[in-house]
Amino acid sequence: MPRDIEAIAEQVFAALADPTRRAILATLASEGPATATDLAGRLPITRQAIAKHLALLAEAGLVTAEPGERRRVRYRLRSAPMQVAQQFLAALARDWDSPLGALKDHLDRSTH
């Protein structure tokens, strides 16, 4: 696998490992683009702390900054890196052992 794909997934998992960043991403996912001030109003975290995490998330490509109203910077979730990470999770979530066990049982039970 190309190394850079793994680097993308790593950034997603690192971002999700922190509860504050998880809350920021979850809020952007469920409620749409928001400014640092908006997020500070919705989450029990200071605006300064949120701004710091947003800068880090933007650096990792997980959110993107765009011009908002009244010349405020607004942040939007970027779903593409999440889709990369999701595919890796799919490999870990795939269970072949149970169906193959069921296949074995099925063959042993049937008579022909």
Partner 1 sequence: MGFPDRIERTLELAHPPAKVWAALTTDEGLAAWFGNEATIDLRPGGSARMTWTSEGFTAEMRVERVEEPRVFGFTWPVYGLPDEDPRRTYVEFTLEPSGPGTRLTVVESGFAQLPEDVYRKAFDGNTDGWAKELGELADYLDAA
Interface residue list for partner 1 (CB under 8 A): 1, 4-6, 8-9, 32-33, 61, 64, 66, 76, 78-81, 83-84, 86-94, 96-97, 99-100, 102-108, 110, 112
d(CA 35, CA 28) in angstroms, rounded, equals 10
Q: Which is nearer to partner 1, 48 or 104 (CB)?
A: 104
Residue (44 or 67) nearer to partner 1, CB: 67
Closest distance of CB 46 from partner 1, Å: 27
How far is CA 18 from each of CA 14, 22, 44, 55, rounded to the nearest angstrom? 7, 6, 15, 14
